[in-house]
Every structure is written in C-alpha cells, then in structure tokens.
Amino acid sequence: EAVASYTLPGTRHQKCFCRTCGSAVPNTHIPGLLVVPAGCLDSELSRVPTAHLFTSSRAAWDRALGDVPEFSGLPKAT
C-alpha cells in the first residue's frame, strides 16, 4: 500500500518509492529485470557490480572518484 511509482513523461524511466518516507524500493518495470536500489539494502552483498552503465553521459567528476577522501561516517564540520 505504501509503494508508489512515478514515470517521467515521454521516457521509460520509472522510480518506485515509499509514500511514507520517500525511500527508493525495488521495482520490476523492465520485464525480466529486478531493479534493487543499493540504498535499500541492509546486509553484505554476495555479488559485486558487473557493469557501469551509461558511461557516455556520466558527469566529469565520476571519472576520478578513486581520488576523493573516504570517511567511515559523517565528516567533522570545519
């Protein structure tokens, strides 16, 4: 009951989410494919990504993410 979906007009892009909290939830809007947003997982993954999709249109900053600092939690405010 709490799951809603939104399809961007004129596209095949669909977002499924919880009406209560807004969290992304799994969906099957593409036949034969289950899309599971990584943010809704709460356990260790037994599989790793096998592809990075749509790289021809990715943002320039996406190419160098290995160079940014990592934090185990929220960084301290400066």
Where residue 18 falls among pLDDT bands split at 50, 70, 90?
very high
Give the pLDDT of residue 47.
81
CA 50, CA 44: separation in Å to the nearest integer? 17
Residues 23-71: tens digit of each pLDDT: 999 988 777 888 888 888 888 888 877 777 788 888 888 777 777 777 7
Strands (E), the chain: 3-7, 14-18, 27-30, 33-35
pLDDT tens digits, one per residue of 24-37 = 999 887 778 888 88
What does the pLDDT read at residue 2?
92
* 16 three-state secondary structure: strand
Given a contact cutoff of 8 angstroms between Cβ atoms, the answer to whether 14 and 7 are in contact is: yes
